[in-house]
Each structure stands twice: as C-alpha cells, then as structure tokens.
Structure 1
Amino acid sequence: MNSAEGAGPKARWLIALTVMLPTILDVLDRTIVNVALPDMMGALGASADQITWVLTSYIVASAIVMPLTGYLVERVGQRTLLLVSVGGFVACSGLCGMSTSLDAMVILRTFQGLFGASLIPLSQSLMIDTYPKEERGKAMAIYGLGIMVAPVLGPTIGGYLTETASWRWVFYINVPVGALAFVMAARVIPARPGRDVRTDWTGLALVTLGIGGMQFALDRGNDEDWFASNLILASATISAVAIAIFIVRGWRKRDNIVNLRLFKDRNFASATVLIGVVGMGLYGTMVALPLLLERLLGYPPMETGLVMAPRGIASAVAMMVVGRLVPRIDPRKIIALGILLSTAATAFMAGYNLEISAAYIIWPGVIQGIGLGFIFVPLTVVAYESLPPEASASAAGVFSLIRTLGGSIGISVVSTVIVRGTQANWNRLGGHVSPFNPDLPAWLGAQGLSLQDPEAIARLAGELARQAEMLAYVGAFHMISLFFLCMLPLAFLAQRPPPTARVAGPGH
C-alpha cells in the first residue's frame, strides 16, 4: 500500500515539510564542513592531506549505500528506514562534534555517511508517493528547494559558525534540526511493513567495490596526481571491473540488489543521464566560484556566501514557478530553456577578470540559478513519469547516485583544470616577462618600481601567479558552459508526455 493513499492536502504538506528537513541536513552537510577544515586541522592534529579524509569518508560511504535504498525500503519499509537514517545521522553528528582525534572523526563520518545516504532518495520517493501524478511538478519544486538551496547556504552557515562559535558547531547544528525531523517523521509518515526479500550478497559486494572505488578515485584523484598514483590506478581498475561485472550480471537477474531494469524505461534513462550532467555543472560551479572569490578577489567566507546566496534564492523561486507550469507545458521545452539559461550564465562567467565587482558575480549566478530550477523540476517529473509506483524508492536511489557521481566528476574535473591550467598559464605568461618587452617597464613604472628594484621581482611573480590562476578559472567556466550545452540534445530524448498529463493542473 502506498504511503500516501488517502492523504489530503494538509497531510501532504506535513509530509513534504517532514522530508525536506532530512534532505537539507544531508545536502548541507556536504558543503558546510568544508569551511571548517582549516580549524579542524589544528584541533585534531591533522595535516592538510589528512584532514580531507573527513570529507572523503562521508562521500564514499554515502555513495555505496545510496543505490541500495530501494532494497532497504523493501526490507524494512519507508518510515522505519527514514527513522533509522535520521536517528543514526543525528547521533553521529553529535559525536563528530565531540571528536578529539582524526581517527575517531573519520570513523564517525563514515557512519554518518552510511546513515545519511538514504535521506535524499528516500525523501524523493516519499514525495513521489505522496502527491498524485498531476501534482508532481509542485512536489518536486518543494523537494528541490533543499537540493538546490542548501549547497549555497552551506559555506555561509559554516563560515558564520566557525567564526563566531567553533568548528564543532558545523556538526552540532544537525542535532536540533535532525531531532525535529525524527519526531515529525514518527508522527507524520504512515507505517508500512517491509517484507522478507532475498539479499543479493554478490551484488552488494560488487556495488561496494565499484561505487566505493569510483568515488574514492574521483575524490582523491587530483590530490594524488591521478593515474601517476598506484593507489588511484588500483582503485579505478577495481571499480571499473566491479561495475562491469555488476552491470552484465544485474541486467540478467531480476532480484539484483539494484534494479538495473529501470534503465529500460526511456524517460528514466534519459533523465538520469541528464541529472548526471546537471550535477557536473552545478557542483563544478560550486567549487570554482568560492575559490575564485576567496583566493583571487579577497572575499572573506561570509561575504562569499552572501554573494552566492542570490543564486540559491533565484533557483528556489524558479522551481516554485515551474512546479505550476509543468502540468501545462511540455517539460522537455522547460528543460531546454533551463539549459540555455545555464549555458549563457556560465559562458558570461568565462569573461571574469581580477577587477570585477560583486554585481558581475551575482547576476550571472541568478540567471544560472533560474536555469537550474527550470531543469531540475521537470527533469525529475520526467524521470518518474512512466515508472510503476512500487519502483519509486529504487529509482530515487539510482537517480540520486548518478547526480552525486556527476557532481563528483564535475568537482574533480574542474579542480584538475584549475590546477593544471594555472601551471600551463604560468609557463605561457612567463615567456612574456622580458626586459625587451616594452609593456614590462610600463607596468613596473605604474607600481613605482623598476627592473633594478628587488621588490619588483616578488611583485611581478605574485601578479603572474594571480593572472595565471585567473585564466585557469576562465578555462574552467568555459568547460562548464560546454557541460550545460551538451545537455540540450538530451532534453528531447525523453518521450513526449501525453496531453492529459500536461493539461491537468494542481488540484485537479
């Protein structure tokens, strides 16, 4: 029986609010911790390389469990899984805040990732089950608020808590919010018993090796110099072999631990590919912009968050508007418009320089936020359009995993482009530094320096480094705009929805 059968409008809103809280918790936790890492290094006695395991442990553990959501729902039911996930996540958050060693922190973050993995797909599945098909646009708009806004707010909240209180509060803040989510879930989400299903242990082992190895390689690859590292090479090889065996085996088996037969549905398959590319563009921008603002333009963390906040607000507003348009307009056209807006905004960012004002950061961000809002809501509706209701939990787990992996790929690729691009630009620009270049004495003269001044060399080296890195960011934004543009043909791979599905508006 569906968890939403018989639910009236008031009950739907209560369920929507209840599942939004855990969604925000998980998404926020993926970005809020980053700002606190420098403070955590001293408190936990960790090096710059070691402290990144606080992020890696959470991400890898979460990626492994996320596609298993459908199986877990079958075993224990949606309500029980949500309560266990929220309760475990909150407990681990509190313990992370009390950690006094790096080892304890990494272990607790691993368990936090295991418990938090199902929060997003489970929340999405509950929203799909709660709202009738003609109101799914509205449902996905509400759900999308947490997905799109939380990553923008994370660095701002993390910076504020770290500056005004302690890094420990980036974990403690989860406790009251999570406790509220637990109480609401216990009271609002209808209970549905699970059933005894066979556990595919071989499939589970392959998922663990495949997804875990891939996520580890993506997360650590740039720091370890990619395939120059035996660790990354081994991780990627094991991952590729495990995933290949899992796909071949899973396509033939009906009781596979992850339902790969979902990809036989054209709408779900095309939407899942699209959400992966969206994740690449979204998280690629999310990693590039804060670094640009803080490293090159001198913005403090709080101000960086404030400059990026309008992007999240614009995305939220766009999703609420689109939620009402989806039942009336072909969602593929809305997705295409969102892709074009996101492409244009990111292409504008490729024109950034070291002298830009905050307005030039805010307005392209607003346009990109609107574009992403236009993409996310109809794309999610399309993904579930022709799937049977009982497949919602399995589909949500796979859909969320691909978005997460797309984000990891985007972050890894953008980080590598910035690092390698900076090195290449340094070498290229350095070739123009010569006493025979007439522009060099002119530039030094404007600084009150000359070639004979010892300070001139240091000043010149610093400026060369800034310009080289700025050009690397320009290259990264060019690449992200291409990510978005490549999505345009994919928007029309999905089947055209039947007219009856688009005419019925909310409340009909």
Structure 2
Amino acid sequence: MAEQLPPLPPSGRLLPAASVMLTTIMAIMDMTIVNVTLPHMMGALGATADQVTWVLTAYIVAEAVTIPLTGWLAGRFGRRRVMLFGIAGFVVASAACGLSESLSQMVIFRLIQGVAGAPLIPLSQGVLVTLFPQEQRGKAMAIWGIGVMLGPILGPTVGGLVTEHLDWRWVFYINLPVGLLNLAMVARSIRETPRQAAGTDWFGALMMIVGIGSLQTVLDRGNQEGWLDSDFILLLSLVAVSGLALFVWRGLTAKRPIVDLRLFADRNLALASTLMLVFGLALFGTIAIQPLLMERLLGYPVETTGLVMAPRGFGAAFGMLVVARLSGKVDPRWIIATGMVLAGSATWMMSWYSLDIGPGWLIWPGVLQGVGMGSIFVTLSTLAYATLLSSQTDAGAGLYNLSRSIGSSIGVSIAATWYSRFGQADWNRLGGHIDPFNPALHHWLQAQGLTLDSPLAPELLANELSRQSSMLAFTQVFGMIALSFVLMAPLLLLLKPRGRS
C-alpha cells in the first residue's frame, strides 16, 4: 500500500486547488469546444460532413480507453509525473492539431491529445480528495466540479467566439498559453506520490482498449451509420462485447490486474459510478441537442446560442457552492434527491417548449437545471470516495470518471437517435393531417395568402411540417431525459452517508 502524504495546512491548498481546477477545465472543454468548428474544418481539411466527425470520435475514444489506466499510471510513475507529462503532451498535440493540413493528421493528433488529457481529469479529482480532510471533501468536490460542469457548457461558447472572430485553428492554439501556465502551476504546487509496484496485465490492457474503444466508437458513430443496419457497427458491437467480457474477467480474477475492478466491491463507488453514468447521460444529452434546437429551429447564430447556454454553467457553480456550505450538515442523500428534483423539473419544463419561445424560456430552465446538476455532481463525487482507502483514490477516480465518460457518450448517442426517430414518427403523424378536406389546412393557407393550388403551397407546407415535427421531437427527448432523473432515485437508498460504516 502506498504511503499517505501528510496533510497540507489550509494556506497551502490554494495553489494546488487552482492548478487542478485549471487542468480540469482545459481537458474537459476540449470535448465540446471543437463541435462548432467542424463546418470550418471541412473545407480546410478536404473532408466531408461524415468524415470530419472523426475529429470528435478520435478524442472521445482515446480518452475513454486511457481513463481506466489512471490508477496504474499513477502507481507506476507517480501522480505528479503523470500530470506533468499529460499536460505537456496535451499542449504539444493541441499545437499539432492547429497546424494539421489533412484529416488524417488531425485525427492522429486528436488521438494523442485524448490520450494525454484523459488521466488529467481523474488525477485532478484525486489530488483534491487527498488535499482536503474528509469533513471538507464537499468543498474539494465543489472546486473540481466547477471545472467539470463549466468545461462542456462553456466549450461551444468559447469555440463559437474564437471561430467567429479569429480562426478555427485558434480553438487549439489557445491551449498553448493556458497549458504552459498550468504546467508551471502543477510543477510548483502538486506533490509527488510514492511509486509502488503495479501489475502489468498486458492481455487485460489489450482487451480493455479493444472493448472500450469499440464501445465508444459504436456510441459515437451508431446513429450516423444506422446502428445494427450497418455491418461496421454490428461488427464493432460484437468486438466490444467480447473485449469487455474478457476485460472484466481479467480485472476480477488476475492477481495484479492493470485495472482493479474489485474496487467496485466498495458499495459507494459502485453506486456512485452507476449514478454518474446516468447523470452523464442526462447532462450531455441535454447539452448535445439544445444547440440544435436554437440554431436549426429558432434561427440563433452560434455566438448567441453559446451565450444563452452559458448561464447553465453559472447555475451549476452556484449549486456547488451551496452544497459545499451544507456538506457535513445535511444527509448527502437528501442533497442529491433535491438536485434530482430541481434538474428533473427543469428538464421537464423544456418539454413544454414551442417555436414561439423567447430567450428567457431557454435560459431559466437551464439555470435551474444547472443548480440541480451541480448539487448532484458535488455530493455524488464526495460519496464515491467516502469509504475508499487513500491509496485507492487514483484508481477509484479512474473508474468513476470512466462512468462519466461512457455516460456522456451514451447520452449524446441516445439523444441523437431519439431525436431522429421521434422526428420521423412525428413527421408521418402530422403529415397525415395534410389533406384537402381538412378545414385547418385551408385556414392556414389563407393566413399565408395562399390556396391549395398556389405553386408555393407545397414548399411552405413541407417546411412547416419539418419545423413542427422537429419541435415535437425535441420536446419528447427532453421528456425522456427528465424521466432518467426519476430512474436514478431508488439507488439513493443504497448509498452510505459519509462517516457511516
């Protein structure tokens, strides 16, 4: 077992906390900041709309495959060394992405960026868990959570502003000054952990890479490829199931596995990881489709869309700060339950949207949802490590953050699939009411100054049918996401409040 580092005095925690918060924001933001630049990349890299999405897939897959190795890397090389190497690699890969002249170069450098950045997120969380005493873990997770919640929310905003006023390549170049500053802060403030002998189960590592990599690719590409109607997705699904089954078997039976899945015997870590998976689904599912609603149906420019979505991040920060003050005074399960009610209610309000809503209707449910999600996130992260040994923190953080990563991919994938399927069903259902004997049809055409025989009538009808069916699809997806908060609730009863055995 690794020797536990002596605690730092309160005055010595400020710089390490700021360092890991900056690390988290930098790594997380790159998951979403690139989204708004894809149309601009297409021309520069000579890629089609379908091909350019591999820029996103490469980063997501590389991150998911590397996150579970966090505990092994920290044990073998030391937490500080891994963080410094990860930040340096992230900065170099970011510069290379900005200089890329072809899609293949971009995908390769995004893979490297994902591999370098993946351990930074769980290690940052691990630093804060060991930096603060247990009674102040809520404060620590609030600091870390602000970075995790603000990153994906502010990513499209920053990406839109940079692309609009500079150039899409600056989405990557801005990581250079931030990363170099972060490198100096981590080098100055983060203490090295003792190195320890770590198992090297290369077969288990290979199965993990194959299984998780295939799963993430299926989730990211499935909707575009038509799911199991595609031979590519079908083959990858079989590879994912086989690889994951062998990885789990090795993780549970090997004497010194590269990823110790036996940590899930800790009930809090297992349940918190499960809840985080569903939470990631809800958070990223909402973030993925709301910009589409604003840009495609409401006609908002990219910059305005980012500004409208940004208050959700400030709501999340407010929720986290409140929870940090309540930590240790209120049963954490009640805090999570309250967060579920707030976030679920706000998401349900989004299912009332129509084509006539103004920015206020987009902002306030988002703020309320952010407060609820911030409350859930901080408290859940605190409970996940409440019953783990200090030496298990980095490995536990890797598994916990893998759940967040896979949950976010599932959320984006499911939201996109639901939107596509609901939209088609609603198009067919509403289209069935367009018939020459329907008085409402003639009334609508008359309001447009047209008749059924007018040349423009079919085009306007098709456009309105598409708008209305898309709006209905969005509201149905929001309703399903709201339901996910209800499904999370029963698991709260199984969590152990902090401090109980």
Q: Which residues of 2 match residues 281-292 of structure 1 at below 5 A?
A: 281-292=282-293
- C-alpha contact (below 8 Å) 2:32/2:152 kept by paired residues: yes
Give the match for residue 159 of structure 2: 158
Give the match for residue 504 of structure 1: none
Q: How big is the shift at 1:235?
A: 0.7
Q: Which residues of 2 match residues 343-358 of structure 1 at below 5 A?
A: 343-358=344-359
Equivalent residue of 2:223, what SS? coil
Q: How big is the shift at 1:34?
A: 0.3
Q: How far apart, CA to CA, are the structure 2 residues paired with 1:498 and 1:156?
A: 40
- C-alpha contact (below 8 Å) 2:3/2:194 kept by paired residues: no
Q: How far apart, CA to CA, are the structure 2 residues paired with 1:169 and 1:114?
A: 21
Q: Which residues of 2 match residues 120-135 of structure 1 at below 5 A?
A: 120-135=121-136
Count of paired positions: 500
Give the match for residue 137 of structure 2: 136
Matched, 1:408 2:406: no
Q: Deviations over 1:427-463 (max 9, x none)?
A: 1111100110000010011111111111111011000
Q: How big is the shift at 1:56?
A: 0.6
- C-alpha contact (below 8 Å) 2:320/2:375 kept by paired residues: yes
Q: How far apart, CA to CA, are the structure 1 residues paired with 2:288 and 2:266?
A: 33
Q: 1:498 to 1:191 in 2, by over 3 A?
A: closer
Q: How big is the shift at 1:4?
A: 5.1
State the identity %: 51
Q: How far apart, CA to CA, are the structure 1 residues paired with 2:471 and 2:186?
A: 47
Give the match for residue 309 of structure 2: 308
Q: Which aligned segments of 4 or more residues in structure 1 are displaced greater than 6 angstroms?
A: none
Equivalent residue of 2:356, what SS? coil
Question: TM (normalized to structure 2)?
Answer: 0.98
Q: Deviations over 1:42-64 (max 9, x none)?
A: 00110001100101111111110
Give the match for residue 118 of structure 2: 117
Q: How far apart, CA to CA, are the structure 1 residues paired with 2:338 and 2:185?
A: 37
Q: 1:423 to 1:292 in 2, by over 3 A?
A: same
Give the match for residue 44 of structure 2: 43
- C-alpha contact (below 8 Å) 2:71/2:259 kept by paired residues: yes
- C-alpha contact (below 8 Å) 2:63/2:115 kept by paired residues: yes
Q: How far apart, CA to CA, are the structure 1 residues paired with 2:197 and 2:410?
A: 36
Give the match for residue 324 of structure 1: 325
- C-alpha contact (below 8 Å) 1:3/1:191 kept by paired residues: no
Give the match for residue 214 of structure 1: 215
Q: Deviations over 1:73-126 (max 9, x none)?
A: 011000000000000000000111011111111110111111011010010011
Q: Deviations over 1:442-492 (max 9, x none)?
A: 001111111111111101100000011111101100110011111111122
Give the match for residue 262 of structure 2: 261
Q: Which residues of 2 match residues 72-151 of structure 1 at below 5 A?
A: 72-151=73-152
Q: How far apart, CA to CA, are the structure 2 residues paired with 1:191 and 1:323?
A: 27
Q: How far apart, CA to CA, are the structure 2 residues paired with 1:496 and 1:266?
A: 11
Q: Which runs of 5+ in 1 are unaligned?
A: 502-508
Give the match for residue 481 of structure 2: 480
Equivalent residue of 1:450, what SS? coil
Give the match for residue 270 of structure 1: 271
What is the one-letter code of the residue matched to 1:250? Answer: G
Give the match for residue 435 of structure 1: 436
Q: Which runs of 5+ in 2 are unaligned?
A: none
Q: Which residues of 2 match residues 223-262 of structure 1 at below 5 A?
A: 223-262=224-263
Q: How big is the shift at 1:210?
A: 0.8
Q: How big is the shift at 1:187?
A: 0.9
- C-alpha contact (below 8 Å) 2:218/2:236 kept by paired residues: yes
- C-alpha contact (below 8 Å) 1:343/1:485 kept by paired residues: yes
Give the match for residue 204 of structure 1: 205
What is the one-letter code of the residue matched to 1:252? Answer: T
Equivalent residue of 1:222, what SS? helix
Q: How big is the shift at 1:9?
A: 1.3
What is the one-letter code of the residue matched to 2:117? Answer: G
Q: How big is the shift at 1:196?
A: 3.9
Q: How big is the shift at 1:326?
A: 1.6
Equivalent residue of 1:454, what SS? coil
Question: TM (normalized to structure 1)?
Answer: 0.97
What is the one-letter code of the residue matched to 1:400? Answer: N
Q: How big is the shift at 1:422?
A: 1.2
What is the one-letter code of the residue matched to 1:9? Answer: P
Q: How far apart, CA to CA, are the structure 2 residues paired with 1:99 and 1:74?
A: 34
Q: How far apart, CA to CA, are the structure 2 residues paired with 1:231 and 1:194?
A: 42
Give the match for residue 489 of structure 1: 490
Q: 1:484 to 1:132 in 2, by over 3 A?
A: same
Q: How big is the shift at 1:3?
A: 7.2
Q: Deviations over 1:126-167 (max 9, x none)?
A: 111111111100000000001011111111110011010100
Q: 1:2 to 1:298 in 2, by over 3 A?
A: farther
Give the match for residue 370 of structure 2: 369
- C-alpha contact (below 8 Å) 1:280/1:407 kept by paired residues: yes
Q: 1:97 to 1:2 in 2, by over 3 A?
A: farther
Matched, 1:417 2:427: no
Q: How big is the shift at 1:193?
A: 4.4
Give me the CA root mean square deviation.
1.2
- C-alpha contact (below 8 Å) 1:3/1:189 kept by paired residues: no
Q: How far apart, CA to CA, are the structure 2 residues paired with 1:15 and 1:380?
A: 19
Equivalent residue of 1:387, what SS? coil
Give the match for residue 380 of structure 1: 381
Q: How big is the shift at 1:421?
A: 1.3
What is the one-letter code of the residue matched to 1:138? Answer: K
Q: How big is the shift at 1:419?
A: 1.0
Matched, 1:15 2:16: yes
What is the one-letter code of the residue matched to 1:364? Answer: P
Q: 1:185 to 1:222 in 2, by over 3 A?
A: same
What is the one-letter code of the residue matched to 1:59? Answer: I
Q: How far apart, CA to CA, are the structure 2 residues paired with 1:81 and 1:289?
A: 36
